[in-house]
Amino acid sequence: MSDVTRTTTDIVAKLWNLCHILRDDGITYNEYVTELTFLLFLKMMQETKKEDRLPKEYRWTGLAERSGLDQLEHYRRLLLELGDTKKTTDPLILAIFADAQTKGSSGNNRADSERSLKFPSVISAAAIG
């Protein structure tokens, strides 16, 4: 198996693992894509060193360092404020987070999904897209 195939297989496995975690957090199959888009976007902003486009309090580290209900409440605020034209001026961020919301019902499983997203630094937005 080539390194590219192995990396792709690893990414797919991590994404399916996240789907299972999100399902256990009350998120349906149809909502996985949206939830994963938000989480992957935040993580990739960190990985590609472009987090300066986000307010400091809503960067990946600020989300990942929380746990349980505190993390879920922070994530909900993050989604609302990154999509709010009064609080965010970057057009890309506004487009991604417009009308964003989470269907998660508890913070316990989200902490597991945050830990699962620690992709190797060699993976970039270009590799996923």
Separation between Cα atoms, residue 97 and residue 78, nearest integer Å? 9
- 52 vs 117, residue with greater confidence: 52
Q: In this predicted structure, what is the pLDDT of residue 104?
A: 64
Nearest in space to 52 (alpha carbons), one of 7, 90, 84: 90
Q: What are the residue ranges spanned by the domains of the chain?
A: 3-128
Task: Look over the chain and give the mean of its residue pLDDT values, rounded to a whole number.
Answer: 75
Q: In this predicted structure, what is the pLDDT of residue 65?
A: 83
- 12 vs 116, residue with greater confidence: 12
Task: Tell me which range, 8-12, 36-40, 113-117, is most confidently predicted by mean pLDDT.
Answer: 36-40
pLDDT at 107 over 50: no
Question: Residue 127: which residues within 8 A CB-CB, separation 6 or more?
Answer: 7
Separation between Cα atoms, residue 27 and residue 56, nearest integer Å? 27
Range with lowest mean pLDDT among 47-56, 77-86, 100-109, 114-123: 114-123
CATH number of 3-128: 1.20.1260.30
DSSP state of 121: T
pTM: 0.67
Separation between Cα atoms, residue 129 and residue 111, nearest integer Å? 25
CA distances for 45 relative to 53, 62, 93, angstroms: 8, 13, 11
